[in-house]
Amino acid sequence: TPIVNNGTTITAINKDFEGIEFELNKDIIRPQSFDKLNHAADIIKTLDANSKFAVIGATDARGSAEYNLKLSQKRANAVMKYLTGKGVNPSMLTAEGHGKADLLYPECDPATKCTEDKNEANRRVYFQQK
């Protein structure tokens, strides 16, 4: 039986999404992130197939808004493609790029105002129920 979608499930998936690494300025997922994404895929596959989720990409404040919007969309697409490649039903997922309009640490605009760990945290992909 499918697991009921609830905040706990979303939190568990987002924990796997934490720290997903990409090549600098690219949408290539680094191999050290595969185990986390595999675990997230396993959780998502237990959910009701009628559920809808967004894979959201965000960037740090470096670079233009236009560039970051494209990059974050490509990264969200890459994660969605990875998950569907692991058997997640594609109709459950959409990919959204939020660029630098979705900073985890808004005080890091410009990026020079923050330490690199906070800028790195702004470069993320996360999961949200639709």
DSSP 43-96: HHTTB-TT--EEEEEE--S-S-HHHHHHHHHHHHHHHHHHHHHTT--GGGEEEE
What number is the average pLDDT over the span 17-25?
85
121: three-class secondary structure by DSSP: helix
Please check the confidence at residue 39 and state whether its pLDDT lies above 60: yes
Structure confidence at residue 105 as a pLDDT band (50, 70, 90): very high
pLDDT level of residue 1 (50, 70, 90 thresholds): very low
Q: Report angle CA 76, 81, 83 to the nearest 5 degrees.
A: 95
* Rounded average pLDDT over 2-22: 80
pTM: 0.89
> Is 26 a residue whose pLDDT tops 80?
yes
- Gap between the Cα atoms of 93 and 128, Å rounded: 10
pLDDT score of 125 = 94
Q: What is the phi-psi region of residue 17: left when phi exceeds 0, alpha when psi lies from -120 to 50, beta otherwise?
A: alpha
Residues whose CB falls within 8 Å of the CB of residue 8, separated by 6 or more in sequence, listed in order: none
- The pair phi, psi for residue 80, each rounded to 5°, is -60, -45
